[in-house]
Amino acid sequence: MQRREGFIFLSSPGAVTPFHIDSEYNFLLQVRGSKTVSMWDPADRFVLPEEELERFYATFVHRNLPWRDVFQTTAFVLPLAPGEGLHFPVTVPHWVKNGPEVSVSFSITFRTADSERRELLYKANARLRKLGLSPHARRTVDPARPHQADRLRRGGQPETAVGSCGLQEHLIAHIRCPV
């Protein structure tokens, strides 16, 4: 675990954090007030194309992503009340809207050797794309889910992409913690 950080967020009623990705893992713990988080599968390349990931890592200007209304139709909409927490995998697309009260939340973020390697991969792919090539992250089989090998052999899609945490894992991490 690297670059461990903690943040306290105080935000206004109804405040919106626009659609974006972050390069850290995040555990967001709601202390007071409420939030609604819309979140997508990090491996959904309709919502988060490879090119956006490359731009984010290679030419970071800001973390916001281009928004299209159609994206909301596939969002997982997750309300957060005081005492609840949510795990954000690395570069999971999300946007957040505060409830009608002042919100206080605590965020714990960190990176890992894997997330650092992933950043290097996308920086390299951005350079290759500049040269006219069409790189893409290679999808592999998670050793913990060997049944995916059969899915891939039959032409199916794996459940997760390289370097991303599956949405199932994310939903399991939607935890309730004591206030």
Chain residues in the site for Fe ion (CB under 5 A): 22
Q: What's the closest the beta carbon of residue 17 comes to Fe ion, in angstroms?
A: 6
Residue closer to Fe ion (CB basis): 37 or 121? 37
Residue closer to Fe ion (CB basis): 27 or 135? 27
Q: What's the closest the beta carbon of residue 56 comes to Fe ion, in angstroms?
A: 12
SS3 97: strand
Q: What's the closest the beta carbon of residue 24 comes to Fe ion, in angstroms?
A: 9
Angle at which helices 50-58 and 113-130 pack, to 10 degrees?
100
Residue closer to Fe ion (CB basis): 22 or 50? 22
Residue closer to Fe ion (CB basis): 61 or 133? 61
CB nearest Fe ion: which residue? 22
Assign residue 8 a region (left: φ > 0; alpha: ψ between -120 and 50; beta: otherwise): beta
Residue closer to Fe ion (CB basis): 21 or 121? 21
Please spell the DSSP secondary structure of 161-173, one letter per residue: -TT---HHHHHHT
Alpha-carbon distance of 149 to 146, in angstroms, equals 6
Q: What's the closest the beta carbon of residue 159 comes to Fe ion, in angstroms?
A: 23
**DSSP strand E in the chain: where?**
2-11, 16-20, 25-32, 35-39, 76-80, 84-88, 94-98, 103-111, 175-176
Q: What's the closest the beta carbon of residue 20 comes to Fe ion, in angstroms?
A: 6
